[in-house]
Each structure stands twice: as structure tokens, then as C-alpha cells.
Amino acid sequence: MDLNERIRLIKEVGEEIITEQELKELLSKKKKPIAYDGFEPSGRVHIAQGILRAINVNKLTKAGVHFKFWVADWFAWANNKMGGDLEKIQTVGKYLIEVWKVCGMDMENVEFVWANDAMGDVNYWKKVMQVARNSTVKRIIRCGQIMGRKEDEVLQASQIFYPCMQCADIFYLKADITQLGMDQRKVNVLAREIGPSLGFWKPVVVSHHMLMGLLSPATEATDAAQRAIDMKMSKSNPDSAIFMTDTEEEIKRKLRKAYCPEKQVHENPVLEYCKYILFEKFKELKVERAAKFGGDISFASYKELEKAFAKGEIHPLDLKNMTANYVNQLIDPVRKHFETNKKARELKELVDSFEVTR
């Protein structure tokens, strides 16, 4: 694959790239650069964490990138997830990895690294201390939204460590590219600013789009930080997202309730599912409807679908029904795996029994 094709694939993932020129230079010099993303194991897996994550990772690995997943169990612990129970958090981490193995993620160039394994490494903590010594408390608190917290939210002492640790992760993992959501931008920029002065490097930031929550009003989902909070809140309000083991009936019910004003394409979560997930997995989407309502109609691209919806040619209910049908097709293999594989079923049942906390 030539350089331009590699860059094109990565640009499909990056809603923002800091900077594209640096990305080009990196790919020119390094045959197999390292990208990383960290995830907090904190409950059931929704579709953005599952299928959308697999779509983005596959594009990067196809572009010749080695992808490291940082299983951030200690971070979830510091952030009071799962009631601060580290053993439960680690169980959820195993569940997440199990989901990714069966939802279409190409594992050949994917590596899972547990934060727990780094906690006894003095070199890790030296990097954390270097970041902390070169950052003000005010700057670190401004990074609080990476935890799904608002800037004015009262933080516990453990949560002050979090941004320092996340910044240090980049250098500990030798990541050339930080490939996280737009909500993680502040800490990635911090790493770029202080990395060279600490004897490290300036990582390229490739920030992916944050999928809207299904029930989020447009007025409350205008930036990445709010989208992140919306999606994190889906754990306590399960109707705001499709989960990777939802039944067909649950998928249909949630999408019928989804926010989808007629003719509105901006900040429409149902259209977002079509754009960022369905058209990535299917070459064509068909809206099935009775002849008296115009009959079936197919779309070969998201732009075609968006244009038709904006003109009122597609009713919101028809769009929702179509989306539910295709989402169910994507979820079905995952659902069946957790139903038929004994080890996976027991893992899911254990995670389902946990009480979820923000």
C-alpha cells in the first residue's frame, strides 16, 4: 500500500489529525508505527465501543499500524468505576476483549496491554512523575473531561493522578500515534507540548468521532466532551445506546424511541449510526416500506440517504426500522457467541450482575 492510500485510510478515522504533515512524515520514516487507545472497563459494551471501535482499528492496521490497547483497569479504579472494585473492573476488561474478538476486529496487529502489569514498573512511575512535575494542577484539572467528568465537577484525589498517568501511557507504550476519541484531545495535546522537553517525542493525534447517544437532544450533544458523557451515561440509561448483546427486540425498541426529527440531518443519532457504522459494513442499505408509501428504496452511499431524508422522502420511522434491521445483523454473531460459548456466557452473566457506576 502506497503512502497516500495509508494516509487516506487514517484520515477516514481521524475527525481531527494533529498534524497531517507530521503523520505523513511518520509513515514515510517508520514502516510499522505504533498507535494506542486506552479503555476503562466499566460495564456492558455499547456499539461505539464494539463495532465502531473495530472499524477504526481495522483501518489503522490495514494502513500498516501496530495497535496497542491499554486495558486501563487501574484508571477505572481511580475513576471510581464498578464501585471501586478492581477485581470486577478486570473481569469487565476480559469481557470487552471477548467482544472485540467476535465483532470483526482484525487481531493480527492488535496487542492488549494491561495497566495492572505496568504498576510495578518503576520506569512507568518515573514517566508519571515527569509529567506531573511539568504540569500545573489547573492544567491537569482542565483535562478532567477525559474521564467523562465536567470541568466544574468535584474530583477525588485519585482522579488528579489520572491525566498524568494517561499522558505517561503514551511514552511508556512507545506510541507514535494517539488514536482516541475527540473527548481525549486535551491530554493528547498536553503530551505533545511537554513530550520533547522531557526527552520524549511529539505524538501524532488522530481523534475519532464520538457517536451520539440515542436519546441525546441536539442541544446537549454539540461537542466531544458532552458526547462522551452521553455515551458513558448509557450505562445507567441503557436506552441511550445499543449494547453488543442486546436482543433483536431491544434493538428495535431503542431505535423506535431514538431522537430523530423529521428532515433533520444535523445531530441526528439514527443517521449517525448509518454514517459511521452501517455504511462501513454494508455496500447498500434498503428501506423497506409498503407500496402506498413509495415502496422499497435503496441507497449506495450515506450522502444519498442523508439527502433523501432531508427532503422528507424518508419518514423517521422507516429510517429507524431500517437501521434496527441492519444493526441487528451486526450484533447477531456477537449475541450468539455469548449464548453458545460456555466461557463467554459465564463471563457475560458475571458482568451483567455487577452494579454499574459512573
| 19 upstream amide cis, omega within 30 of 0 | yes
CA distances from 351 to 52, 113, 254, 287, 293 (A): 21, 21, 21, 36, 44
Q: What is 215-248 written as a DSSP string?
A: T--GGG-SSHHHHHHHHHHTTTSGGGS-BTT--H
Exposure of 203 in the CB half-sphere (CA atoms within 13 A): 30
Residue whose cell numbers read 458482568: 351
CATH superfamily assigned to domain 3-208: HUPs (3.40.50.620)
Q: Which of the four pLDDT bands, split at 50, 70 and 90, describes residue 220?
A: very low
Whole-angstrom distance, CA of residue 102 vs CA of residue 245: 11
Domains of the chain by residue range: 3-208, 225-353
Does the model's pTM come out above 0.85?
A: yes
Task: Give the pLDDT score at 236.
Answer: 58
Report the percent of the chain where pLDDT is more than 70: 89
Highest mean pLDDT of the ranges 45-49, 146-150, 215-219, 290-294:
45-49
Residue 189 scores a pLDDT above 70 = yes
Q: Which of the four pLDDT bands, split at 50, 70 and 90, describes residue 208?
A: very high
Of 1 and 283, more confident:
283
Do 319 and 265 touch, CB atoms closer than 8 A? no
Residues belonging to the chain: 358
Task: Give the pLDDT score at 223.
Answer: 55
Task: Give the pLDDT score at 270.
Answer: 97
Residue whose cell numbers read 450522502: 303
Amino acid at 23: L
Whole-angstrom distance, CA of residue 7 vs CA of residue 114: 29
Question: Which residue from 330, 353, 327 is spatially nearest to 44, judged by alpha carbons?
Answer: 353
Residue whose cell numbers read 453488543: 244
Of 307 and 232, more confident:
307
Cell of 312: 422528507
CATH 3.20.10.10 is held by the domain 225-353: no
Task: Give the pLDDT score at 233.
Answer: 43
DSSP for residue 46? B
* Angle of the 20-29 helix axis to the 3-13 helix axis, nearest 10: 130
Residue 263 scores a pLDDT above 60 = yes
Q: Which of the four pLDDT bands, split at 50, 70 and 90, describes residue 153?
A: low
Amino acid at 353: S
Read off the pLDDT of each residue in 132-159 and give the average, rounded to a whole number. 71
Q: What average pLDDT does the structure give for the chain? A: 89
315-346 per-position pLDDT tens digit: 999 999 999 999 999 999 999 999 999 999 99
CA distances from 224 to 143, 151, 229, 240 (A): 13, 14, 9, 16
Report the percent of the chain where pLDDT is more than 90: 73
Of 268 and 43, more confident:
268
